[in-house]
Amino acid sequence: MSDHVRVEKSGGLLAITLARPERRNAITVAMYAALADAIAGAFEDGETRLITIRGEGQDFAAGNDLADFLEAVPRDEEIPVWRLLRALAECEVPIVAAVHGNCVGIGTTMLLHCDLVIADDSARFSMPFVDLGLVPEAASSLLFPRLAGRRRAARYLLLAEPFGPDEAQSIGLVSHRAAPGALDSKLDEIVAALLAKPPEALRLTQKLLRTAAQDEILQRMKLESTMFAERLGSAEVKEAISAFFAKRSSKPA
């Protein structure tokens, strides 16, 4: 378990917190492994009825920690990031995410696999895969066109245009909005409502909602992950990531 992923169990709730606020919750390989283990194990323990995911500090998740990620370049399906994405897609426990601040890359695409997503007014979504010489992941190349239509999905994935909570709600990425300062209370409200439902009916309904598209989603994830791994060895990616680090190091402290 990573020190930067906090997992707390109580009364059927598994609460997961990305707890690396000093790096805006940029996700490391160890964090991916901890997240994958927590989500994959939730159904198996026989007690978890609901999972929540949120971020500590000013952002939900600033995407990959690129320096850490490049030290363990994904080459097979057992790399932690791919294990996490499969765990999210196959999860048989309802997942609720509460998001604020920046949701970058996988910080946005993981939300496609949550059953409910709450966002406050500070939420900002972006998927700059192409800018880094990469391709989308988490079956986002399949799911975003279905949610938003091909043209709007192209804005997000080809142009890497960011978008806010109003647009996220209009396309169905976000299910609920929270007033400023009320994200925690809105999450608590929804958690209480879900935990009050008959648990087996809740679980079976969540499974029915997911079943029709699951095989297609997993196939698209596999195709994306193959392309993603191939791209990591390309000159384009090396140049783009070098430019990213050069730009970051040039910013005033």
At residue 250, the pLDDT reads 47
36, 80 contact by CB (below 8 A): yes
At residue 232, the pLDDT reads 87
* 69: number of Cβ within 10 Å: 20
CA distance 85 to 67: 20
Asked if the structure places residue 152 within a domain, the reply is: yes
143-198: pLDDT as tens digits: 999 999 999 999 999 999 999 999 999 999 999 999 999 999 999 999 999 999 99
Asked if the structure places residue 191 within a domain, the reply is: no
CA angle 16, 161, 52 (to 5 degrees): 10
Q: Write b or e for each residue in 81-109: b if 16 or more Cβ atoms lie within 10 A of its Cβ, otherwise e.
A: bbbbbbbbbebebbbbbbbbbbbbbbbbb
Considering its fold, how many domains does the chain have in total?
1
CATH number, residue 167: 3.90.226.10
Asked if the structure places residue 82 within a domain, the reply is: yes
At residue 252, the pLDDT reads 45
At residue 1, the pLDDT reads 56
CA distance 27 to 4: 9
CA distance 7 to 28: 16
CA distance 19 to 245: 23
The radius of gyration of the chain from alpha carbons, rounded to an integer in Å, stands at: 17
Asked if the structure places residue 240 within a domain, the reply is: no
Asked if the structure places residue 62 within a domain, the reply is: yes
Walk across the sheet containing 50-55 and list its strands: 5-10, 13-18, 50-55, 95-99, 116-120, 176-178
How many helices, marked H, and strands, marked E, lie in the chain? 10, 8
Asked if the structure places residue 242 within a domain, the reply is: no
At residue 98, the pLDDT reads 98
Asked if the structure places residue 110 within a domain, the reply is: yes
- For helices 80-90 and 199-231, angle between their N-to-C axes, nearest 10 degrees: 150
Residues in the chain with pLDDT < 70? 1, 72-77, 248-253
Q: Both tokens of residue 129?
A: 């895969």
Does an H or E element contain 51, and which? strand 50-55
Domain span at residue 121?
5-181
11, 195 contact by CB (below 8 A): yes
Asked if the structure places residue 107 within a domain, the reply is: yes
